[in-house]
């Protein structure tokens, strides 16, 4: 089974978290996720996250934490190892280049959208905390 190491941003602004919806034709189409992507060879997870958010959303972020949550989930296409980090928006407004929608939700509102399975443990942890930073 293929192993895929990815990172996701719990991007926080004004007490809300950025949620991104995957597009049609992609694996996990229409499900919501923390934006991010695959870790390239030679990158730290934090470097990968900064690069992915620049490429996907045209924003600059500051990675705040060592890691927020680590999850492994077996999909039909492989095992996704997801590490999420708390991030703060430094520059820019999220632009849709890879996703079909984004929403800023309070932690208590995160269950309003349908999440990709690998993201759910971080969602639950955020909802239990019910506040960010």
Average pLDDT over residues 93-106: 95
Pairing mode, strands 36-38 and 3-13? antiparallel
Pairing of strands 16-22, 32-33: antiparallel
In the chain, where the domains are located? 3-129
- Render pLDDT for 74-97 as a digit per residue (tens, 0 to 9): 999 999 999 999 999 999 999 999
Contacts of 19 (CB under 8 A, 6+ apart): 32, 33, 34, 102, 103, 104, 105, 110, 113
- Band of pLDDT at residue 130, cut at 50, 70 and 90: confident
Report whether 7 contacts 61 (CB < 8 A).
no
Q: Tell the CATH topology of 3-129.
A: Nucleoside Triphosphate Pyrophosphohydrolase (3.90.79)
Q: Would you place residue 27 in the very low, low, confident or very high pLDDT band (cuts 50, 70, 90)?
A: confident
pLDDT at 131: 63
């Amino acid at each position: 089974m293929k192993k895929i190491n990815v990172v996701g941003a719990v991007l926080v602004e004004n007490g809300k978290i950025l949620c991104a919806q995957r597009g049609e034709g992609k694996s996990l189409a229409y499900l919501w996720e923390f934006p991010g992507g695959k870790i390239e060879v030679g990158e730290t997870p934090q470097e990968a996250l900064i690069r992915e958010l620049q490429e996907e959303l045209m924003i600059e972020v500051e990675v705040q934490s060592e890691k927020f949550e680590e999850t492994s989930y077996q999909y039909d296409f492989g095992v996704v190892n997801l590490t999420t980090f708390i991030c703060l928006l430094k520059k820019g407004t999220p632009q849709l280049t890879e996703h079909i929608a984004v929403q800023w939700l309070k932690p208590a509102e995160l269950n309003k959208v349908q999440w990709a399975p690998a993201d759910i443990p971080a969602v639950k942890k955020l909802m239990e905390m019910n506040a960010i930073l």
